[in-house]
Amino acid sequence: MKITWFGHAAFRLDFAGKGVLIDPFYTGNPSFNFGVENATRGATHILLTHGHSDHIGDTISIVEDAADAGTEIPVVTNPEVCAFLAANGCGGTNVMMNTGGTVDLGGFTVTMARADHSSGGPGSPSEYLGNPTGLIVKAPGEPTVWHMGDTDIYSDMALMCEIHQPKVVILPIGDRFTMGPEVAALAVKRFLPGVEVVVPCHYGTFPILVQDPSAFVAALENHPVKVVVPASGDTFEV
What's the pLDDT at 92?
A: 82
What's the pLDDT at 44?
A: 98
Instruction: Determine what percent of the chain is predicted with pLDDT higher than 90.
Output: 95
pLDDT at 78 over 80: yes
- Which sequence spans correspond to the domains of the chain? 2-229
Q: Which amino acid is at 227?
A: V
Answer for the pair 80, 130: CB distance below 8 angstroms, yes or no: yes
- Taking domain 2-229, whether its CATH number is 3.60.15.10 is answered by yes
What's the pLDDT at 164?
A: 98
What's the pLDDT at 124?
A: 65
Answer for the pair 2, 29: CB distance below 8 angstroms, yes or no: no
The model's pLDDT over 149-200, given as tens digits with 9 standing for 90+, comes to 999 999 999 999 999 999 999 999 999 999 999 999 999 999 999 999 999 9
Neighbours of 230 (CB within 10 A): 17
What's the pLDDT at 91?
A: 82
The model's pLDDT over 110-147, given as tens digits with 9 standing for 90+, comes to 999 999 999 998 876 778 999 999 999 999 999 999 99
Give the integer Cα–Cα distance in Å for 146 and 171.
8
41-49: average pLDDT: 98
pLDDT at 33 over 80: yes
pLDDT at 8 over 90: yes
pLDDT at 82 over 80: yes
Answer for the pair 54, 25: CB distance below 8 angstroms, yes or no: yes
> Which 3-state string (H, E, C) describes 10-70?
CEEEEECCEEEEECCCCCCCCCCCCCHHHHHCCCCEEECCCCCHHHHCCHHHHHHHHHHCC
